[in-house]
Amino acid sequence: MKKEYQNFTKSRHSTGFANYYTQDTRIYASDAEKNLEAYNQKQRLAEQRITNNLEKVSSKARKATENVPKISEKKSLIDLQKEERQQIEFVKLHRKNASSYRRKETLMKKMRENHKLNLSMRIEKSKSIKNYNDQEFSHWQGKLQSQYLKDLKKIKQKKEQLDNNVENLKEVNTLRFC
């Protein structure tokens, strides 16, 4: 009887642990999926801002190059050269800013892709852990169930044996008193 109780407590502990761990991985997987969706939405907004800023910078550079001849026609030769240099420097600066902005944008895209890849890997890992835990749980559940059936069979056999012993004792007692 004591051994049966110990087996029962062991089985309760192992199934409880498996249930808790499986539930924990399910929560982790759902949280990771929510984080990935939020991250994708933030990434789309950031890409929209980047494209808008690039369009603004390129339009400023185009306007600056278009306005160079109009301004230079009105002024003297020295002023023209000075103005042209300033306009060229302005255009170079804007182009340089735009190229550095593009470089930063590509770096940010790579970082976002890496982060997204890491999130997807985390989700896959948590799903694989969940699958493993489910398999482990079903394995232990099968073992415990088979052990329970074996114990139940033994108990029935002992009960039949005790019933037979009781009947034999009754017969012996009846024979003695007769």
- pLDDT band for position 22 (cuts 50, 70, 90): low
Per-residue pLDDT tens over the stretch 58-113 = 787 777 777 655 555 555 677 777 888 888 888 777 777 777 878 888 888 888 88
The rounded distance, in Å, linking the Cα atoms of 111 and 142 is 46
Residue 52 has pLDDT above 80, yes or no: yes
- pLDDT band for position 161 (cuts 50, 70, 90): very high
Return mean pLDDT, the chain: 77
Q: What is the mean pLDDT of residues 132-161?
A: 89
Residue 13 has pLDDT above 90, yes or no: no
Q: What is the DSSP string of 8-61?
A: HHHHHHHHHHHHHHHHHHHHHHHHHHHHHHHHHHHHHHHHHHHHHHHHHHHHHH
